[in-house]
A and B are shown apart, each in its own frame.
Chain A
Amino acid sequence: MINKTATLSVKKRIRLTCLNLFYIGVCFLGLVPIIYVFLLSVSGGGGALKTGLSILPEKFTLDNYRRIIVEEPFLRWLLNSVVLSVGTMVIAMGTSVLASYAFSRFRFVGKNASMQILLLLNAFPQILSMFAIFRLFRLMNLLDSHVGLIFIYAGSMCIFSIWNMKGYFDSIPIEIEEASKIDGASNFQLILRIILPLARPAIIVTAVMVLIFVWNEYLFATTFMLKEESYTLAGGLYQLQANDYSRSWPLFSAAAILVSIPILIIFFCFQKYMVSGLTAGGVKG
């Protein structure tokens, strides 16, 4: 009997060891491309061209990081990215908080139909209407302007934001509002003082998702911006590897690491909410 439990636990231990090895392998596979880019970025100018299997750099140098910041308009791109992210966030959140509040709280004719139409519009991949927007913006003289790009981004994230936050507004009990209405608060006061603080988690998560979207968008950024100094980080990085094919790869990898770090930090801070926010959106979507 004792013998039997002993073999069982040995068996179990072997199984767990195999499982651990398996997951170490999986994690390694998942991380290899990222690690490789990092190693490229610290291995100096010609590191990428080295042949042979060893991927470890011969010498460790931050020269690529210095070059990307000093020799390329990296800081300019960073500033553009920040301006676009903040601008988009303000416009997208400003419009969608109001709309999602209305969709959650008021009853009106055409409410459900509007929500469904919004979903339908959201199903249209924006790349496909890029040409139409391009023509429209040329006519309106909005090409090569940050304001134009901010409106594109805000418009494309607006529907998502409305749906994402409406669900959260639905979960806030309406009694709280009724009580303060009796106390004589106006509608706008109500929203500012009561609703916004209560809905803060949903608003923050949605805003972060808008931010990540803008930070990572390269296609519209390079199609609608015609001058190098008006690029965002994503656009600039894209351009960096598109122009100068082989020579700028170590430079590109340094930039890639720099661009990814803030996103990684934000992502892992909000990871829990991202998952739940996505599913909440998904269930209704």
Chain B
Amino acid sequence: MKKSNRKLTPWLYNFPAFILIGIIVLFPILYTGYISLTNMNLYHWQDYTFVGADNYVRALGKVDSGFIAALFTTILWTVVNMVLDVGIAYILAIGLNVEGLRGRRIYKTLIIFPWAMPAYVSILAWRVGMYNTEFGLLNKVLVALGFEKMDFLSKNVPAFLSCVVLNLWMSLPYMVVMFDGALQSIDRSMYESAILDGAGAWQKNWYITIPSLRKVMAPVVIMTTFTTFKQFDIVYLLTMQKGAVSGSTMQTIITYAHQNAFVSNNYGLSSAVSIVIFVIIIAFSAWTNRAAKEV
């Protein structure tokens, strides 16, 4: 009696959480998988039929479905953002740790602000305060400098770049704080002996700072890569909100899935895309897990 009781106890503790996760997380994923095999859409809300892998074939096989293009955009988006994010944050954090910089604390506090702001508020503030053609600050600056007004969000390339700038504005504070913490965890004595050996600033950077940072920063960079890959709010709120479509047709895979579910009501296709995205994320995290172990 006592023994079986003991075996059950942990599951008793887990039970409420598992029920909650089962209903809100697990079941919807399975259901999404189920929908992906049907032709469910606005006209087939109840009387949908099974169509096998048709939705997958359509998403992956037909170029005009737009999914492959969205996938490329997403990969480009992730790479561009991560390179700039890590590069700029590294430089900013190194600068913050230069000896004799008195205002360090104030700078750090001020730099954190964009991170603390609610994300949707920041994005909407940028849309109207920065990019808007009528009263956006960027356009005011352009006009004052004698240039023409520019609609930043109406064409794909400027819209992509505008999204990148905003994403960097929102994600750099976190990166800088993490780099800053990692830099301070490096053993000072390594630099001292390097100076005795006659190493210059570049050599110290290349042989001590970067290798020491790699281990600490790997999880942070991997995590941020995932959030960047999954980024939805920026593209959605800047360019494709209901009633305020800006004109750019840029799609990431997440906005593509959302668009198909809630705008064009193509539930089957949207679900198939969702499952494909899930598979991509799992494959990517399995790969990073293995790579992280080797660092």
Contacts and interface: CB of A to CB of B under 8 A. Distances in A.
Do the two shown chains form a genuine complex with each other? yes
18 contacts: A20-B101, A22-B95, A27-B110, A33-B125, A34-B114, A53-B143, A95-B20, A102-B11, A108-B10, A121-B26, A123-B278, A128-B32, A128-B274, A131-B35, A216-B120, A259-B121, A263-B118, A264-B113
Interface stretch (A72-80, A173-181, A201-209, A249-257): A249-257
A141 to B, nearest CB: 15
Contacts of A237: 120-121, 124
Prevailing SS type, chain B contact patch: helix
B77 interface: no
Contacts of B169: 30, 33
Contact of B103 (A20, A98, A135): A20
A127 interface: yes
Given A136-B31, A264-B117, 13 more contacts: A19-B101, A20-B102, A27-B111, A30-B113, A31-B110, A123-B285, A131-B261, A132-B31, A242-B243, A243-B243, A268-B112, A279-B219, A282-B223
B96 A124 contact: no
Contacts of A283: 219
B231 to A, nearest CB: 10
Given A123-B285, A156-B24, A260 B118 contact: yes
Nearest to B119: A216
Interface in A216-245: 216, 218-219, 223, 234, 237-238, 241-243, 245
Prevailing SS type, chain A contact patch: helix
A98 B122 contact: no
Contact of B17 (A106, A126, A129, A158): A158
Given A20-B101, A187-B9, A260-B117, A158 B178 contact: no
Contact of A218 (B112, B120, B177, B230): B120
A83 interface: no
Given A128-B278, A129-B28, A129-B29, A53 B118 contact: no
Contact of A30 (B111, B128, B143): B111
Interface stretch (B59-67, B79-87, B134-142, B155-163): B134-142
Contacts, number: 249
Contact of B126 (A33, A122, A268): A33
B18 interface: yes
A155 B20 contact: yes
B20 A151 contact: yes
Contacts of A19: 95, 98, 101
Contact of B21 (A27, A118, A125): A118
Contacts of B116: 263-264, 267-268
Given A33-B125, A154-B20, A131 B13 contact: no
A26 B107 contact: yes
Nearest to A105: B10
A33 B125 CA distance: 7
A111 interface: yes
Nearest to A187: B9
B130 A33 contact: yes
Nearest first, the 8 closest Cβ-Cβ pairs linking A and B are A155-B24, A102-B13, A129-B28, A99-B17, A128-B274, A106-B10, A267-B116, A132-B28
